[in-house]
A = this chain, B = another copy of it.
């Protein structure tokens, strides 16, 4: 008793292309190949196909199925691993949904695109900075802090940020020195603003690291394209950087 590729495919509800694919990837070889190259399948092959289709219907990948069929992995273990992977994926999507909802609400609440861009850019940049210098955990803390805020709190924080930036721009325009009292007052405010974010060295009271971070941040405002234009122009960013450097050197 044996069947041609089409007979088997039709009965199994799949395409002959799929069977050829399974043959090519070594998942299911035909029991016999005629001198003409035709593939023929016997009941043993059909049984194997059964198992393949069951696992496939459960969403397992072909390599994982192959391992189970090759007896490298126990069927139960394979399924358990698959469940774990599925749960992981589900949780990831769940987080994704919350994140998108959050963004959508913020957008609807009137947060302008540029605002959003600025903050997201800050977050991203901050992420890289924090991860590379103080490890992944610190980023996790401040990230949770941000996403744990209510919409009102986020908007309020955005407002604070905008005010601070506006003050910097005004000071830079005024042509005063970065070492002047007014600039240093702004620098102090900037550092306080930073310290609101938990998980940062400034918030954690680590002096050496705080200084390094404040200086590094100043440099980034100048060098990083993502902050381009944040302080109006290159001169504005340089002003902020110089003021922050001076503050870090003399007041921290």
Chain A residues proximal to chain B, CB less than 8 Å:
1, 3, 7-8, 11-13, 41, 43, 46-47, 50-51, 53-54, 57-59, 75-76, 79-80, 82-83, 86-87, 89-90, 93-94, 96-97, 99-101, 103-104, 107-108, 113, 116-117, 120-121, 124-125, 127-128, 224-226, 228-229, 234
**Cross-chain contact of A89 among B1, B43, B54, B93 (Cβ < 8 A):** B93
Interface pair B75/A100, CB less than 8 Å apart: no
Q: Give the distance in Å from the alpha carbon of A51 to the alpha carbon of B107 in the complex.
A: 13
Q: Give the distance in Å from the alpha carbon of A249 to the alpha carbon of B86 in the complex.
A: 49
Interface pair A11/B225, CB less than 8 Å apart: yes
Pairs across A and B, CB under 8 Å, 21 listed: A1-B225, A8-B225, A11-B225, A43-B228, A43-B229, A46-B226, A46-B228, A50-B120, A53-B124, A54-B117, A58-B99, A58-B100, A58-B103, A59-B96, A76-B107, A76-B108, A79-B103, A83-B101, A87-B97, A89-B93, A90-B90
Interface pair A93/B93, CB less than 8 Å apart: yes
Q: Give the distance in Å from the alpha carbon of A125 to the alpha carbon of B50 in the complex.
A: 11
Interface centre among A46, A82, A234 (most CB of B within 10 A): A46
Known pairs A12-B124, A79-B104 / 18 extra A-B pairs, C-beta < 8 Å: A3-B225, A8-B225, A11-B125, A11-B225, A11-B226, A12-B225, A13-B124, A43-B228, A46-B226, A53-B124, A54-B103, A54-B116, A58-B96, A58-B100, A76-B104, A76-B108, A83-B101, A87-B97
**Nearest opposing residue in chain B for A124, CB measure:** B13
Task: Describe A's contact surface by its main secondary structure.
Answer: helix
- Would you give the shortest CB distance from A2 to chain B, in whole angstroms? 9
**Nearest opposing residue in chain B for A223, CB measure:** B11
